[in-house]
Amino acid sequence: MSNTMTEHPDHSAQFPGSSDRFKRAELAEMGRPAHVSCHGVTFPTDMPPLFPKARNMLASGTYEEKETQAALKIVQPGDRVVEFGGGLGYLSAVVARNCAPAQVHTFEANTALIPCIRRVHSENGLDAITVHHAILGEARGSRHFYVRRKFFESSTSREPTDGIVNVTEVPVLPARQTVAALTPDVILCDIEGAEVSLLPLLDLETVRHTMVVLHPKVTGLEGVRRVFDTMHGAGLIYAPRHSSNKVVTFARGD
């Protein structure tokens, strides 16, 4: 499933901001690999947001394990996949490599992650993925995005204020029209609590499966209920067989 890689294309120059030269030098001095591999996808270890714990989890095949297992079960060949929350480009790349979808569209608000995502996709030759730097909301505009040291804690919410390292202005696209135009079969969603406000905006008529990572510490149990109500109201029924703890999947009922 996973192993370290000693030779791999280096596209860091094509994507400024995707490589930390000090980290690269330090890793080389320590004899650490320039890339690690997980589920058939290689990841450069010099990406600024890639902390040692995440690097080790990628190398051992345990990074976002529950999300990965769910996504690999619900995405089918030829699917059109829309992902909310691109992260390091991990899940979009793994799905594109292993599931043969026709298209993958990933939406990410964190400006600092965009070059990293694109570098991962480029170095792995994954041409079916389109990266959108945007937030999805009710109407077109812009919004503050709070970047935190741990990239996975970054969000549109100022609270908690601990760990904020930057505040950026990110374009907002109209969610309903934008996603409907992509006619997704599958939606993957991990957006640090914003799922509660985003999912009700969508037209889910074409969607066969969704995977949502819940964030009850942010949304409370009321937020969890709203996610389930939104899915059930759209004809998507909770699928326990492909769900685990806060990673929940929903499938179109017969």
**Under 8 Å between Cβ of 134 and 172:** yes
pLDDT in tens, 193-218: 999 999 999 999 999 999 999 999 99
Which pLDDT score is estimated for 246? Answer: 98
The β-bridge partners of 133 are 108
pLDDT in tens, 147-197: 887 777 787 777 777 788 888 899 999 999 999 999 999 999 999 899 999
E strand or H helix at 101, and its extent?
none
Neighbours of 32 (CB within 10 A): 17
The pTM for the full model equals: 0.92
Which pLDDT score is estimated for 177? Answer: 98
Strand ordering across the sheet containing 135-137: 135-137, 164-174, 141-148
Would you place residue 254 in the very low, low, confident or very high pLDDT band (cuts 50, 70, 90)?
low
Which pLDDT score is estimated for 155? Answer: 78
**Domains of the chain listed by start with CATH number:** 64-252 (3.40.50.150)
Share of the chain above pLDDT 70, in %: 97
Q: What letters, b where the CB count within 10 A reaches 16 and e where it falls short, cover 104-142?
A: bbbbbbbbbbbbbbbbbbbbbebebbebbbbbbbeeeee
Average pLDDT, the chain: 93
Is residue 112 pLDDT above 50, yes or no? yes
- Average pLDDT over every residue of 48-66: 94
Which pLDDT score is estimated for 86? Answer: 96
From the list 164, 163, 95, the residue with the least C-alpha distance to 128 is 95
